[in-house]
């Protein structure tokens, strides 16, 4: 597929830099209205013994304060980008991903460290080298059935020839068990020019807890557990100057995962948050 990103990325001049959050109606729960389109697998089958997605993690030695610890898909690039090129590539990565998911009607939201960076200034942390999003279980089935291994080309402003992104689904997504520790990532959105990627994980009904009376229990294969009311209804906001969805109880989720200090600590990863500019500045 080929897309012009001028209309997407050009929105930055029209959208306010300040974030706003709008709650959606909560007359019904997300899972209750989508159960008819969700495929459920009665048996997890044999737990896979091989990891589908691979990435390169160089030894984290002699890194200067604030330097990025590299992680990238080495099948697309044999070396990491220079530090000053990573954040622009990640910004285009999340903008194109959100654009595609919106255009095909696939519900998605940011989570984990990406949600924490949104909390601070709706921008990617300057030390990040990948991004995290979540989708529902019906959505992962939809993407696997219609969009697995599809290339999406964007004509990006200032990028000669544009960039192509690959949506790749882990075939082990059908294994719903947390015992599959090698395949906790269900899909990736990959920048084929650099190997940088977005990790995509599916949120599923936690059948074990539901059978024990917890009717709202949700889980991911990476052993994160939630309540439906913590995530749904999703709120609307902006991230990297484009529309994005975030979990309903984002403060509660961030405090659970990173601690309350993560929302107030202005000195982190060799950077200091400037209250005036709302930017993380690298400390000398």
Q: Is residue 274 part of a domain?
A: no
Task: Give per-residue pLDDT as tens, 143-174.
Answer: 999 999 999 999 999 999 999 999 999 999 99
Q: Is residue 144 part of a domain?
A: yes
Q: Is residue 270 part of a domain?
A: no
Q: Is residue 275 part of a domain?
A: no
Task: Give per-residue pLDDT as tens, 97-116.
Answer: 999 999 999 999 999 999 99
Structure tokens belonging to residue 195: 């190997």
Q: Is residue 257 part of a domain?
A: yes
Task: Give per-residue pLDDT as tens, 218-276.
Answer: 999 999 999 999 999 999 999 999 999 999 999 999 999 999 999 999 999 999 999 99
**Beta strands at 271-274 and 267-268: parallel, antiparallel or unpaired:** antiparallel
Q: CB of 38 within 8 A of CB of 252?
A: no
Q: Is residue 241 part of a domain?
A: yes
Supply the range of the domain harboring residue 257.
2-16+69-261
Mean pLDDT of the chain: 83
Q: Is residue 43 part of a domain?
A: no
Q: Is residue 35 part of a domain?
A: no
* Rg of the chain over all Cα atoms, to the nearest angstrom: 19
Question: pLDDT at residue 118 above 60?
Answer: yes
* More confident call, 172 vs 6: 172
| Domain at 218, CATH number | 3.30.460
Interatomic CA distance for residues 246 and 243, integer angstroms = 10
The pLDDT, as a whole number, for residue 67 is 40
Structure tokens belonging to residue 60: 């984290």
Q: CB of 122 within 8 A of CB of 238?
A: yes
| Number of domains the chain contains | 1
Give this prediction's pTM. Answer: 0.82
């Amino acid at each position: 597929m080929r897309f012009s990103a001028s209309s997407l990325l050009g929105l930055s001049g029209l959208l306010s830099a300040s974030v706003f959050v709008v709650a959606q109606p909560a007359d019904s729960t997300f899972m209750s209205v989508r159960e008819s389109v969700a495929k459920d697998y009665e048996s997890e089958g044999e737990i896979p013994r091989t990891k589908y997605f691979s990435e390169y993690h160089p030894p984290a030695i002699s890194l200067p304060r604030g330097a990025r610890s590299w992680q990238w898909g080495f099948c697309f690039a044999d070396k990491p980008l220079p530090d000053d090129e990573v954040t622009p590539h990640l910004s285009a990565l999340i903008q194109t991903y959100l654009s595609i998911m919106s255009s095909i009607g696939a519900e998605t939201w940011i989570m984990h460290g990406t949600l924490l960076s949104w909390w601070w200034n709706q921008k990617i942390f300057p030390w990040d080298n990948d991004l995290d999003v979540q989708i529902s279980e019906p959505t992962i089935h939809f993407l696997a059935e219609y969009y697995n291994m599809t290339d999406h080309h964007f004509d990006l402003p200032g990028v000669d020839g544009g960039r192509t992104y690959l949506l790749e689904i882990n075939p082990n997504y059908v294994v719903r068990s947390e015992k599959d520790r090698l395949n906790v990532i269900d899909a990736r959105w990959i920048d084929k020019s650099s190997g940088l990627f977005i990790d995509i994980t599916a949120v599923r009904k936690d059948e074990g807890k539901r059978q024990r009376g917890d009717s709202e229990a949700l889980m991911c294969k990476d052993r994160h557990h939630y309540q439906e009311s913590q995530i749904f209804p999703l709120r609307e906001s902006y991230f990297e100057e484009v529309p994005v969805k975030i979990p309903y109880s984002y403060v509660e989720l961030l405090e659970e995962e990173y601690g309350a200090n993560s929302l107030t600590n202005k000195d982190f990863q060799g950077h200091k948050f400037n209250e005036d500019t709302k930017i993380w500045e690298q400390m000398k």
